[in-house]
Amino acid sequence: MVLQKNPRGIIISVSTGSSYLEQASRKAGTRSKAAAKRQQRGSSNVFSMFEQSQIQEFKEAFSCIDQNRDGIISKSDLKETYGQLGKMNVKDEELEEMLKEGKGPINFTVFLTLFGEKLNGTDPEESILAAFKLFDPNGTGFVNKEEFKQLLLTQADKFSPEEVEQMFAVAPIDVAGNIDYKSLCYIITHGDEKED
């Protein structure tokens, strides 16, 4: 397993909240054991996958993205949202790919379903730890920040320098410049407790 961005280029679990989508997905990643059990039962109701407070956070995120307030997220809504976040050069093709994930108009229920599917796709903590252990042959529990940064910038699904800095903003890094990857794995899979 290698740390990657999702198909939309959004780092769901490790960013610092630079977009409404990232913030909503991190918050939903911290659902309770009861919600996880309901999800395991395979309920077809997407609303049963999340706590009421999480649904409210998703609703707020949806409202922020639905710029024209018509109840449907459109390409122009996405473009305007990205513009408000400072990303002006989003290609129409990227926006269209995002919208295709909804397989039709993206209303709030579809929006919630998409996040439920994305959250279910998160690798288990053990898999992420195993990936980090490949870069820690001595089993110290740490990886060097600069070496890890080079890997993220040059390997597989390459991160931008901004995305790397967003991740390092929440990563537990000691004074010697080493990342405590066990703590980082917890943040990736459970969210950053400092957010609450």
pLDDT tens for residues 49-60?
778 888 898 899
Percent of the chain with pLDDT over 70: 70
Evaluate if residue 6 carries a pLDDT over 50: no
Round to whole Å and give the CA distance between 190 and 155.
25
Residue 143's DSSP bridge partners are 179
Q: Where are the alpha helices (DSSP H) in the chain?
A: 20-28, 33-40, 52-65, 75-84, 92-100, 108-120, 125-133, 145-154, 161-170, 181-190
Per the confidence metrics, is the pTM higher than 0.85?
no
Mean of all residue pLDDT scores within the chain: 76
Round to whole Å and give the CA distance between 65 and 144.
37
